[in-house]
Amino acid sequence: MHTQKTGLYLQSIANNNPVFQFETKFFLASSQFL
């Protein structure tokens, strides 16, 4: 649950910062393996 909330938070940041979009996708992808 906490990870999902963090993911949504990072996604909202990525929407305002396209350069951060790749980092967010990478984080969300790697967080699924934790």
* Residue 22, CA distances (Å) to 3, 12, 27, 30 in order: 18, 13, 9, 12
Structural domain contains residue 19: yes
- Number of Cβ within 10 Å of residue 5's Cβ equals 9
Number of compact structural domains in the chain: 1
Check residue 11 and give its pLDDT.
76
The pLDDT score that the predictor gives to residue 25 is: 78
Is 34 a domain residue? no
Residue at 7 is within a domain: yes
> What integer pLDDT is reported at residue 14 of this predicted model?
67
Q: What is the pLDDT of residues 1-34, one digit of tens each?
A: 566 788 788 777 767 776 666 777 787 788 776 5
Q: Output the six-digit token pair for 1.
A: 């649950």
**Res 19: pLDDT:** 67
> Is this prediction's pTM over 0.75?
no
Please give the pLDDT value at position 8.
Answer: 81
In a domain, 25, yes or no: yes
